[in-house]
Amino acid sequence: MKNKEKLQKTTTKTRVDSTEVVPTKRSFALAQRQEIIEYYNTGYFTAEILCKRYGISVNLFRQWLRSEKRREQNQLKNSQCQMDDPDYKDKDAEIAALKKALQQKEKELNYAKMKHKALDILIEIAEERFDIIIKLAAAKKSGPWR
């Protein structure tokens, strides 16, 4: 029973600062660490004040700073590697080439549609002038029963 009470007392200890009371914790989530580091980077708080406020040691806080700096450097390297990649630069050229090819295909499609329409008109004129049935004969020859 006494051990339980002692355990509860140690887990509910709080660190007091002039503005805020924060319970001590044994571990902080990454988002919480980054938030504390952001407070430090604003310049309004020293490392010692933040460590007192959040109940962590200065050495641990410095370790967080180093790991955050490494994480940022790795992200920067990754983004630079992407930009240095020749495939990354070629993507703009590839997109431009694909757009140009698309425009060419659209022109060809429009030409084919116009040609088809012209041939339909020609067939209609021939049917009227020569009094023959061309479309029906063509439909019978290309039908699925042949």
pLDDT digits (tens, 9 = 90+) for 46-103: 899 899 999 999 999 999 999 999 988 888 887 776 666 666 667 778 888 889 999 9
pLDDT of residue 111: 86
Segment 119-133 mean pLDDT: 88
CA angle, corner 119, sides to 115 and 120, nearest 5? 115
HSE at residue 5, side-chain half, CA atoms within 13 A, is 2
Is the pLDDT confidence value at 26 over 80? Answer: no
pLDDT of residue 59: 93
What lies within 8 Å, CB to CB, of 89 at 6+ separation is 83
Q: How many C-beta atoms surround the C-beta of residue 91 within 10 A?
A: 11
Is the pLDDT confidence value at 135 over 90? Answer: no
Instruction: Please state the pTM of the whole predicted model.
Output: 0.42
C-alpha span between 80 and 127 (Å, rounded): 69
Query: How much of the chain exceeds pLDDT 70, in percent?
Result: 69
pLDDT of residue 51: 92
pLDDT of residue 144: 56
Residue bearing the bigger pLDDT, 2 or 43: 43
Q: How many residues would you count in the chain?
A: 146
User: Treating both helix axes as pointing N-terminal to C-terminal, what angle do 58-84 and 47-54 enclose, rounded to 10 degrees?
Assistant: 110
DSSP string, 52-120: HHHT--HHHHHHHHHHHHHHHHHHHHHHHHHHH-HHHHHHHHHHHHHHHHHHHHHHHHHHHHHHHHHHH
Residue 134 DSSP class: -
